[in-house]
Amino acid sequence: MGVPGPPPALHGGRLRVLTCLLLLTATLNAANIPVSPDCGRPQQLNRVVGGEDSLDGQWPWVVSIRKNGTHHCAGSLLTSRWVVTAAHCFKGYVNQPSLFSVLLGAWQLGNPGSRSRQVGIAWALPHPRYSWMEGARADIALVRLEHPIQYSERILPICLPDSSVRLPPNTNCWIAGWGSIHDGVPLALPQTLQKLKVPIIDSEVCSRLYWRGAGQEAITEDMLCAGYLEGERDACLGDSGGPLMCQVDGAWLLVGIISWGEGCAERNRPGVYTSLLAHRSWVQRVVQGVQLRGHSGGSGASKRS
């Protein structure tokens, strides 16, 4: 007498289980983010004054730097271990990293979601030339996270500009942040990340606007100006340290860091940014693995809308 085989339904059940496992494995593999993904390329998911809501996952390198658990400044993720921001964000507290943390992968600060990550700060390293005075040159700091973070579709690094990048006046770039929507008016809940397109302003024009007299240059060689001379649209309190981003050959480059200005969105007082073109070599010396991108033709940033 032959040994009866298992009931047909059991074969079908095993097949269904195996099929589900294979599909699950394929889905997980497709969702995996490389240890070193391409910088500056969001994997799209389906208050800046005068800005508008960004899309979820549109700027996956923008982080919230928190002081005592509250949003304090913004920053940009360079690698799995390093964030860049404005040095003035740590004025008076540079030797107290335990007061700070970094929230990554959040779109709405009031509802950061389960896929966001909060990491402590090991230390903050201001540029050695920064003088801690308002509007000073070299307003840039590198922040070392307590441990490496895992990349995801909401947490990705941004590129730095290579030596081919040029930023002629009227080049359209973008800023993003969770700062005030008007002077003294905080971003309302759920505090959705704001974005604003800003054109680069000629450095000589900006120098004249901020002229303080002979020998008192307000706009130094490591600063960029961007925004609107008529005012109404600008970065504001709480946006400090956030990115000025330009897209070149399909990749987003961090060309500036929100640094200072007079008031928020005032006429003839555009935003002033610390230039990464000027400080790229310092960042490269400190941060291992930061990615550079530029124009494939070597002619720099093009004017994009």
Q: Indicate the helix (H) or strand (E) that contains 276.
A: helix 276-286
DSSP 237-267: TT-TT-EEEEEETTEEEEEEEEEE-SSSS-T
Rounded Cα distance, 56 and 107, in Å = 6
Distance CA 184, CA 176 (A): 18
Torsion angle in degrees (nearest 10) through CA of 50, 52, 58, 59: 30
- Of 33, 81, 107, nearest to 287 (Cα)? 81
What is the phi/psi pair of residue 292, to 5°? -110, 145
88 flagged as catalytic: yes
**DSSP labels for 11-58?**
HHHHHHHHHHHHHHHHHHHHHPPPSSPPTT--------BT-EEPPTTS
Is 240 an annotated catalytic residue? yes
Question: 58 is written with which tokens?
Answer: 């549109």
Instruction: Record the tokens describing residue 276, joined without a space.
Output: 């990464």
Determine the length of the chain: 305
What tokens were used for 277?
A: 């073109």
CA distance 188 to 83: 26
List 88, 127, 239, 279, catalytic entry? 88
Catalytic pick among 240, 259, 275, 279: 240
Which residue type does 258 have?
I
- H or E segment to which residue 144 belongs: strand 141-145
Q: Which of 54, 71, 139, 180 is catalytic?
A: 139
Of residues 186, 170, 181, the one with CA closest to residue 233: 181
Catalytic residue IDs = 88, 139, 240
